[in-house]
Structure 1
Amino acid sequence: MFVTALCVLCASPARGEPNGSCPRKEPPPGVVVVSQDSELVLTCSGGVILDGVKLVSSRFPNAVTASIVNSRSHNPVLPNQQVDTLEDEFDTEEKEKRPKVQWKWNNKDLYTEGSTLSLSNVRMSDSGSYSCLQGGTEKFSTKVIVAEAIETPQLSCYKKSPSSKIRCEWSPHSQLHKSTSCSLFTRKRPNGLFLRVPCSYSTRRSKCWCVLGHNEEDKRTLHQAFLCVSSLTSNGSSDLITFTPMHILKPDPPYNVSVQPEVGLNRTLVVTWRPPYTWKIQDRFYELIYELRYKPLLSAYYQTRAIDEQTSTHTITDAVAGETYEVEVRAKDEYEGQWSEWSVTQHGRSWTDISNEDLLGTSYPYWYGEGSGSGDYPENQLTSTQREKTLSHHFLWIAVSLGVCLTVLIVYIIWHKGQCVSRLYSSRRPGAAADKQTLSKSRPLREVEERRKQELRAEDKTEATIFNNTSYFLVQKEI
């Protein structure tokens, strides 16, 4: 049965949508939609001519029938109205006597004359409301929308876990018109009927996305789907894709990725992570495998490691000592599905001995160990962390050197000042030391001399006393 289904699929055409399943949107009354680079002519009588072909002819104001034109095909759809030639209409307008005509665009006056307004090579900026006034009275008005034709959609579908819903989406390269709508057509048998699933379109995210419900019995059933995109400008549908839900299994990236050094091992980094949070508890029966890639911060090439065992940690043993690394992890079902996107980049640096780090940072600021891929990044270029550490080491050495020099200078100044003072004192009293020594040596002689002087003074006093007494007696005798 499976082989038969595959044969039917191979024989089916590339586009399997039924005719008319992806219709183009019709604009509301009074709106004309054209593609860029078209030639558009508006007449005050209500005529609309696109690329030389008259689309609308009406003598009544605000009676313009909506028309959709794709400039690539140049095969517009004409309304079921009487079509007159352009020359006849112009002749009729010239014969009629009319008051002054004034054209306006978004209520702004246009500097043009006559009852005909020509727009060559229209652009997106030409979109807006056009009106024709005769004698101050509005005779004709219409809204013109200029937009590009829709690009061919590229549909992709995936599941985040075995029990999650199927998500299908498409992101166009250019912004679509706000009137754009998306629909997903899907079937479970090659010859079955397509079922329409309404989708959402976000102008902010510029994306169409659709959701299909989960059915445990259909996890390995062939599905077919295509995307229909419709707008006022045109419509388009994607190629028909075929898939089984388990084959489009694409988990979310692992989270809580951490990169830590191993103390004492300068070439080792320990990487840990957690399984995707969208991998639900009921899906734990399906094991995940992981892949890890890492590279030096300045390198352009990654090293990849496949982790086959069911684990949430891995040890890198060939890291360059002191080098900062970028590390990313992704996940996949053990047997089926696709790889997830890479996790958010995390950075880590292997353990480095502080003394060795100071030595390397000061003496060898541009050193890289062998085997790190020296050709992967420019030479003589430091990371911001290495620059900061090198500068801090330089400032530390400069501060220490200045402190030592200042201390030596202060000690020398104090010592030199003491020497100068002592020399100055010695020069002012040249014989002080010798006198002191002489006095200390001649001290006994002085004491002897002093005693002699005292004895002589005592003898003089005695002699003076005797003399006075003698003189007294002599005076008495004379009397």
Structure 2
Amino acid sequence: MANPVPSACCVVFAAVVMVYAQKHSQLDTHVQYERLGTDVTMQCGAMDWDAAVTWTVNGTDIDESHLNGSRLVLRNVELTHSGQYACYEGSSWHLKYQTYLKVGTSPKEPVLMCRSNNYPKGFYCSWHLPSPTYIPNAFNITVMHGPRDLVCEKDAFPKNRCHIRYLQLFSTVKYKVTLTVTNALGRNATTITFDEFAIVKPDPPENVVAKPVSNNPRRLEVRWQNPSSWPDPESFPLKFFLRYRPLILDQWQHVSDLSIAFTEGQVVGGVVVLYRHKPAASSYLL
């Protein structure tokens, strides 16, 4: 007959493991946010100050030199202190407390910019923080046109940008945009005010090509197209500015009016840069 003792031991052991796992799962994990460079004290649940406890971080025992009684004390916390902390009762290793520590900073004043590259359809606003906070941030943006509150439709990507449609063109009423950023350690905000035309800035010209003229290789022909994002170039024509530099010279040459004949130069070779601003020729000879 087989000895029943080993089986009984296995059954008891399995029951202990199940109870131990249940006690672990019954405690919720809290998220604790603390400011970078501060001292942090964690209490082991409802345990007395002089109770024997063991603290761990990410499953590794913490040296007793960091304990004040049953409390864990972290001095001048750094980003590397972030992690999963747990406190166990004495030698029984009953879980009494667990938390996820996240070290970070409160947000500084955000950087906000608004621009219209598809006038007269609308404009977009984008933003970012001048420095990371290392913890989650929430952004809220409000756009006002006089007393009217406008909808700012956020992009899926990038997440820090939203679009606003113009409800009235050639308006003399200013736009006011306020961006507020908050996290668990603080909040900050910035506001900009601008006129409708002040933020109009077309994208660069597209398909720019510079090549020697076939019957005059000492001259260059430059061709380009309007930016595809500019919706109505006939009603709102763009003016282009051209800047070039022969390789043998250090100074740039400028052409600010591309509608007149250009008679200077005999460009042997050079670098051509097109500037956009605000009816424009689509080709030009240098």
The TM-score with structure 2 as length reference comes to 0.74
Is 2:110–2:127's contact at 8 Å kept on the other side of the alignment?
Answer: yes
Query: Higher strand fraction: Structure 1 or Structure 2?
Result: 2
Cα deviation, residue 169, structure 1: 0.9
Q: 1:155 to 1:121 in 2, by over 3 A?
A: same
In the alignment, the residues of structure 2 paired with residue 217 and residue 262 of structure 1 have an alpha-carbon distance, to the nearest angstrom, of: 43
Cα deviation, residue 307, structure 1: 2.7
Partner of 1:93: 49
Is 1:42–1:116's contact at 8 Å kept on the other side of the alignment?
Answer: yes
Is 1:225–1:241's contact at 8 Å kept on the other side of the alignment?
Answer: yes
Partner of 2:84: 129
Higher RCO, 1 vs 2 (CA within 8 Å, ≥6 residues apart):
2
Partner of 2:214: 263
Partner of 1:165: 122
Query: Higher helix fraction: Structure 1 or Structure 2?
Result: 1
Structure 1 segments of 4 or more deviating over 6 A? none
Q: Aligned to 2:197, what secondary structure does the other structure show? A: helix
Aligned residue type for 1:318: G
Are 2:65 and 1:108 aligned?
A: no
Cα deviation, residue 290, structure 1: 0.6
Is 2:29–2:100's contact at 8 Å kept on the other side of the alignment?
Answer: no
Is 1:294–1:304's contact at 8 Å kept on the other side of the alignment?
Answer: yes
Which is further off, 178-187 or 212-221?
212-221
Query: Which of residues 261, 265, 274 in structure 2 aligns to 1:318?
Result: 265
Q: How does 1:9-20 map to 2 (within 5 A)?
A: none
Q: Aligned to 1:247, what secondary structure does the other structure show? A: helix
Is 1:158–1:245's contact at 8 Å kept on the other side of the alignment?
Answer: no
Stretches of structure 2 that go unaligned for 5 or more consecutive residues are: 1-27, 280-285
Partner of 1:304: 254
Which is further off, 157-166 or 174-183?
174-183
Cα deviation, residue 173, structure 1: 3.4
Cα deviation, residue 166, structure 1: 1.4
Are 2:272 and 1:327 aligned?
A: yes
Partner of 2:32: 32
Partner of 1:234: 186
Q: How does 1:445-456 map to 2 (within 5 A)?
A: none
Aligned residue type for 1:230: T
Q: 1:232 to 1:194 in 2, by over 3 A?
A: farther
Stretches of structure 1 that go unaligned for 5 or more consecutive residues are: 1-27, 47-58, 61-91, 335-349, 351-479
Partner of 2:200: 249
In the alignment, the residues of structure 2 paired with residue 108 and residue 127 of structure 1 have an alpha-carbon distance, to the nearest angstrom, of: 13
Aligned residue type for 2:32: V
Q: 1:198 to 1:164 in 2, by over 3 A?
A: closer
**What's the CA shift string for 1:59-101, capped at 9, x where partnerless?**
27xxxxxxxxxxxxxxxxxxxxxxxxxxxxxxx623xxx34x2
Partner of 1:292: 242
Cα deviation, residue 256, structure 1: 0.5
Cα deviation, residue 254, structure 1: 0.3
Partner of 1:43: 43
Q: Aligned to 2:239, what secondary structure does the other structure show? A: strand
Q: How large is the RMSD of aligned CA atoms in angstroms?
A: 3.2
Cα deviation, residue 316, structure 1: 8.4
In the alignment, the residues of structure 2 paired with residue 244 and residue 293 of structure 1 have an alpha-carbon distance, to the nearest angstrom, of: 29
In the alignment, the residues of structure 2 paired with residue 211 and residue 112 of structure 1 have an alpha-carbon distance, to the nearest angstrom, of: 55
Cα deviation, residue 295, structure 1: 2.5
Partner of 1:139: 96
Partner of 1:153: 110
Partner of 1:209: 161
**What's the CA shift string for 1:171-230, capped at 9, x where partnerless?**
3333455632222222222xx37567474686xx6x621211222446543211111112
Aligned residue type for 1:144: L
Q: 1:196 to 1:146 in 2, by over 3 A?
A: farther
Q: 1:303 to 1:118 in 2, by over 3 A?
A: farther
Partner of 1:441: none
**What's the CA shift string for 1:294-328, capped at 9, x where partnerless?**
2245876533321353x9xx96852542x4x2212
**What's the CA shift string for 1:86-139, capped at 9, x where partnerless?**
xxxxxx623xxx34x221112222233542322122112211221111130111
In the alignment, the residues of structure 2 paired with residue 29 and residue 198 of structure 1 have an alpha-carbon distance, to the nearest angstrom, of: 35
Is 2:49–2:71's contact at 8 Å kept on the other side of the alignment?
Answer: no
Give the number of the structure whose alpha-carbon radius of gyration is greater.
Answer: 1
Q: 1:172 to 1:120 in 2, by over 3 A?
A: same
The number of residues matched between the two structures is 248
